[in-house]
Structure 1
């Protein structure tokens, strides 16, 4: 029976991996429409809304969200789920401020905008930041499903991560954007099905939805309106709302992969529809994963698995819960593993496809002959995918050192995301800003955030900064086991409701991880504006480079075409790149 169950579990997992490989071969060999840069990065602008939306959702879910949000809810409550509602609000800003300009310019790499608005140095610096941030982020994406498989089967993380990497690199390299988008869409089916099946079976196990809500209310897990504005609280209404808003702008409004997908659609109206559908989908995903967290608490309200020493860390609690709930049903554990790997593959493939285009357009083109053929360019980008994917694989060992997966992921992105948001916001919304201000703002933002985040991570690793979890219980555990004590705060003082900290730790290191983007963005914008005002430069800026919200006030003669509801200007002549001293 055990052998049969193992075969069934492996079959569910193998089907998902096999489909990914087949799609890559199909778009790379059978449905190939020319070995060109436009085909590889934009799918020849023949993409449709549905696969783009599913790809966006799949690439932003990742195993980090599937594993991290349930753990977050179990340990710290439901405040983080407010981010789903914030998605719905902030897309309005993206639709009217950021996306119109990028779609109108039809850029293969969003960082081309920075060269047109400022200069090639700004473009190159921003591209480097983006590439480095991806190389730091992808290992986390790869590690999470490998961690799940390790917890369920005992297979080493270091054996399974190369498998993820090789398969992902293969179909991303062979098939380009079309393969990435369609594998993302199909992989999202495995992810959604696995989550829904586990939720349904868990609801039956714990006595239904009503009992889940009552138990979490009694356990103080359900909380949404903690209105304390203290930025040093780990989670509050304001930290989640403000932090999520800027995070969404950085990952959707100005992130190269997201903009690439919007631009690949044949019309701005379809790009807008995909943006709305994406935000709705992400809201649903966060609700479902939040339900998983509440179900885990309902199941283990009287016997915390970590204190009972059933698992080593809370990052293992979701796979432990899954095995506990569906482990006896053949195929369902394999379905869950498939869902986790699907999320990881979709995120990794999307980033690899995007970063290959960014590195090629922003760096490689600068040092090779500009007369290089389209086929040669495509081959170069495919080589970049292989190299970057291999680098990410080698960094997985670093990720194992951290427990709070969501916090660690956002911390790493927090070093660079604020700088990226600030440079695009300055370019789009502040015509007075110049290249001197932007470069100073970016460098200052990255430097300060690297200092803050490094200090916070070191304090955490040295047990000088500890987070306060919601209360857990061992009242219902067997009496013949040895319990662990995870609340040793000796030598620390309680700074607020969420944090214990050593007197040796600077207070700035305890700022909420959700405010990393906030702090980085504010620093970049303020420094950029101040330096631009103090050290002005002559600028002749094409109005096309300014967001329509500002453009209509500063450039009234450059009016939006009558009847054009897209929010951006339509001009018949081809766009001409401008520099600081170009006369229009």
Structure 2
């Protein structure tokens, strides 16, 4: 029954493949262009930092792209669909984390003119061994994380195509490795700009179409309210699944992990011409991050509005919670050519970083 239901869903149309493929091709072309410029006019340091040569808005979008993954898009939407608005309390922690970054971390690190954030470990503790351990720890973390990040878009692609997940993961990994290696930080920044734009357009399109399907904003809001999707748990117990307190701490920790003690974010901040500019970028990034998470969250609520009385998981039409958004696209929006391609491009944009 489950397989039959899934086979009845429409698959990728030609236009969907064109939209999805265009994002990948443009990413590769950016890598080629930046690689050509580096080979003809750039130094090794410029390959790593591109000091002062990148536009501040591009850096801000790149920082957002580095902090958003396919898990962010699918996971946040799934959380909103099944458990409601608890996640929004993390914005309190994000605000506190960005405040710490602005007043303490950036002034400390930026003025040292470091190439790697791990250099600070050696300077602070006078220990080359500790620096190497710090670097090794982050490399191990990223190696394990990339497997998870590549899995999420493979889930979305498997839902709309007949390709195996391992092949999709391998393909996306090769695309990302190619343009990153060839173009350096400049290629990473400009592909991040493209991918963040796509990551915003995809969920916004879903939200708009779902609201239209149920009869407008008023009707959608009534369904969300009746489903108690904006109820916040303030229980201080550590044994509850989620609470406002734990979610706020999560937001604070996540902010420091992605922006405060992260080599990729440090490279972007250090490419700014001055500390003041880096601090302004951090403020704009914080605001943008909250907006992005909100868009992903409301895409999950949009799915709830459509399926509030016929949950696909309960009816056996999907196997896992995190397939809800992919199923929505093909079930209710699959007849709109190009929408599925835009959604998958948005999800994959979170992995190509």
- Shorter-normalised TM range: over 0.9
Aligned to 1:214: 222
Aligned to 2:144: 136
User: Which protein has greater RCO, CA pairs closer than 8 Å, 6+ apart?
Assistant: 2
1-side partners of 2:13 and 2:328: how far apart? Answer: 19
Cα distance, 1:345 vs. partner?
Answer: 0.4
Per-residue CA shift, 1:25-60, capped at 9, x if unaligned? 101014646453311110133222111111111121
Aligned to 2:292: 285
Structure 1 counterpart SS, 2:49? helix
Contact 1:40 1:175 in 2 (8 A): yes
1-side partners of 2:186 and 2:20: how far apart? Answer: 23
Aligned to 1:227: 234
1:74 matched to 2:84: no
The partner residue of 2:329 within 307, 311, 322 is: 322
Aligned to 1:420: none
User: Pairwise CA RMSD of aligned residues?
Assistant: 1.8
- Higher Cα radius of gyration: 1
Cα distance, 1:6 vs. partner?
Answer: 2.2
1:100 matched to 2:107: yes
Aligned to 2:31: 24
1:275 matched to 2:282: yes
Aligned to 1:203: 211
Structure 2 counterpart SS, 1:164? helix
Aligned to 1:149: 157
Aligned to 1:511: none
Contact 2:51 2:272 in 1 (8 A): no
Residue segments in structure 2 that go unaligned for 5+ positions in a row: 1-9
Structure 2 counterpart SS, 1:227? coil
Per-residue CA shift, 1:521-562, capped at 9, x if unaligned? xxxxxxxxxxxxxxxxxxxxxxxxxxxxxxxxxxxxxxxxxx
Aligned to 2:7: none
1-side partners of 2:284 and 2:40: how far apart? Answer: 28
1-side partners of 2:219 and 2:11: how far apart? Answer: 35
Question: Are the structure 2 counterparts of residues 231 and 280 from structure 1 closer, same or farther at C-alpha, using a change threshold of 3 Å?
Answer: same
Aligned to 1:500: none
TM-score normalised to the size of structure 1? 0.57
Aligned to 1:413: none
Question: Are the structure 2 counterparts of residues 195 and 307 from structure 1 closer, same or farther at C-alpha, using a change threshold of 3 Å?
Answer: same
TM-score normalised to the size of structure 2? 0.93
Question: Are the structure 2 counterparts of residues 177 and 83 from structure 1 closer, same or farther at C-alpha, using a change threshold of 3 Å?
Answer: same
Structure 1 counterpart SS, 2:89? helix
The partner residue of 1:255 within 262, 272, 280 is: 262
Structure 1 counterpart SS, 2:137? helix
Question: Which residues of 2 match residues 344-359 of structure 1 at below 5 A?
Answer: 344-346=351-353
Cα distance, 1:283 vs. partner?
Answer: 0.7
Structure 2 counterpart SS, 1:220? coil
Question: Which residues of 2 match residues 338-487 of structure 1 at below 5 A?
Answer: 338-346=345-353
2-side partners of 1:291 and 1:143: how far apart? Answer: 23
Cα distance, 1:88 vs. partner?
Answer: 2.6
1-side partners of 2:86 and 2:296: how far apart? Answer: 13
The partner residue of 1:89 within 96, 101, 116 is: 96
1:191 matched to 2:188: no
Contact 2:11 2:160 in 1 (8 A): no
1-side partners of 2:322 and 2:309: how far apart? Answer: 19
Cα distance, 1:95 vs. partner?
Answer: 1.0
Contact 1:85 1:283 in 2 (8 A): no
The partner residue of 2:316 within 305, 309, 321 is: 309
Aligned to 1:501: none
1-side partners of 2:122 and 2:23: how far apart? Answer: 41
Aligned to 1:246: 253
Per-residue CA shift, 1:57-89, capped at 9, x if unaligned? 112111111000010111221101222343233
Contact 1:70 1:294 in 2 (8 A): yes
Question: Are the structure 2 counterparts of residues 234 and 291 from structure 1 closer, same or farther at C-alpha, using a change threshold of 3 Å?
Answer: same
2-side partners of 1:148 and 1:196: how far apart? Answer: 17
Bigger helix fraction: 2
Contact 1:201 1:325 in 2 (8 A): no
Aligned to 1:182: 190
Cα distance, 1:217 vs. partner?
Answer: 2.0
2-side partners of 1:83 and 1:211: how far apart? Answer: 27
Residue segments in structure 1 that go unaligned for 5+ positions in a row: 347-584
Question: Are the structure 2 counterparts of residues 205 and 148 from structure 1 closer, same or farther at C-alpha, using a change threshold of 3 Å?
Answer: same
2-side partners of 1:16 and 1:146: how far apart? Answer: 16
Contact 2:38 2:183 in 1 (8 A): no
Cα distance, 1:159 vs. partner?
Answer: 1.4
